Structure 1
C-alpha cells in the first residue's frame, strides 16, 4: 500500500471511529508531504447548501481535517500520541465554491516546532495554522475561503 493509500485508510478509520461527521463529508487526501496536506471534499447532496455551493459546516469540517490530519500524521512519525484540539477559529469566506473543494495547509514546519516543544516540555502548545480553501475546477488557485485555526497539541504520557 502506498503512502497516500495508507493516509486515506487512516483518515477513513479515524472518521468512522472517532469523528463520524468527518466521514459524512467523505474527505480524500490528495497530497501529503512533510510540509503540507491537500484534502478534497466532494460537492454532493450531503455537503451542499440551499445555494448549491459547499455548506459552511462542510467547509469547517474540511479545514479541521486538513489542520488536524497533518498534526496527527507528524506525531505518528515521531512515535508519539498527542492530545489534539482546536481552540479558536477565524474564517473569511471570499466566494461560493460550487464544485468539489480542496483544503490546503502548508504549516508542516510550524507543526513540527509545536510537536518538538510539547515533547520537550510536556506542556500544551497552541499556535494558529492556516487553511486555504480552493475550488480548482472552477477557480484554479483563487481562494474561496481562508481559515485560521488555533491548533492545540500536548504529548500524552
Structure 2
C-alpha cells in the first residue's frame, strides 16, 4: 500500500497506512497515530481518517476488480462521515462490503453505464482488552464503469 501511495497518490503515503487484512469479503487498514496524522488536540485529524476510509474501501474494490479479470475504472462519487469519539490511538478501518462490491463489479462489466453504490466503512480503536471501539462511520459512494 505504501508503494502504491508514493507512486500514485503521495498524500496516502504521508499517513503510513498498512494492510492488516485483505480477503474476498473484508479489508482492514491501520493508520497509526503519529505526528503527521494528529490534530492540535492530539487525536487523529479528520483528513487522516478520510484517507483511512478511502484506503480500506478502495483497496477492497481494487481487489474485487482484479479478481474479476475485467477492466473497470473506480472513483468515489460521495463521502459522508459520522464522528463518534476522538480517536486517540492507532485507527483500524474496516470494510466488509466485499460481496456487494463483487456484485457491483459484475454489473459494471455487463453495462455501458456507470454503476454507483454506497459502501460502509467503520473506524475503530483497539482497547486494552483487544476489543474494538468504534470512533467513526463512513459511507462512500463507489462508482464503477467498464473501461472500453
TM-score bracket, shorter-length normalisation: over 0.9
User: Could you tell me whether the CA contact under 8 Å between 2:126 and 2:132 is conserved in 1?
Assistant: yes
What is the match of residue 64 of structure 2?
Answer: 74
How far apart in 2 are the matches of 1:69 and 1:134?
A: 18
1:49-87 per-residue CA deviation (whole Å, 9 max, x = no partner) reads 011110000000000111111010111112223211111
1:124-149 CA distance string (max 9 Å, x none): 11000000000114583221000000
Greater share of strand: 2
Following TM superposition, the consecutive aligned residue runs of length 4 or more in structure 1 with deviations greater than 4 angstroms are none
**Does the CA-based 8 Å contact 1:134-1:140 persist in structure 2?**
no
Report the Cα distance in structure 2 between the residues aligned to 1:17 and 1:122, rounded to whole angstroms.
30
User: How many residue pairs are counted as aligned between the two chains?
Assistant: 147
What CA distance in whole angstroms lies between the structure 2 residues aligned with 1:49 and 1:137? 21
Pair 119,34 (structure 1): closer, same or farther in 2 beyond 3 Å: same
SS in 1 for 2:145: strand
Q: Distance in 2 between matches of 1:122 and 1:78?
A: 17
Partner residue, 1:156 = 147
Which residues in structure 2 correspond to 1:5-154 (within 5 Å)?
11-137=1-127, 140-154=131-145
TM normalised by structure 1 equals 0.89
Contact in 1 for aligned 2:37/2:48 (Cα 8 Å): yes
Structure 2 length normalisation: TM-score?
A: 0.94
SS in 1 for 2:116: strand
Gaps of 5+ in 2: none
Give 5+ residue unaligned stretches, structure 1: 1-10
Q: How far apart are the structure 1 equivalents of 2:63 and 2:146?
A: 14
Higher helix share: 1
Partner of 1:7: none
RMSD: 1.3
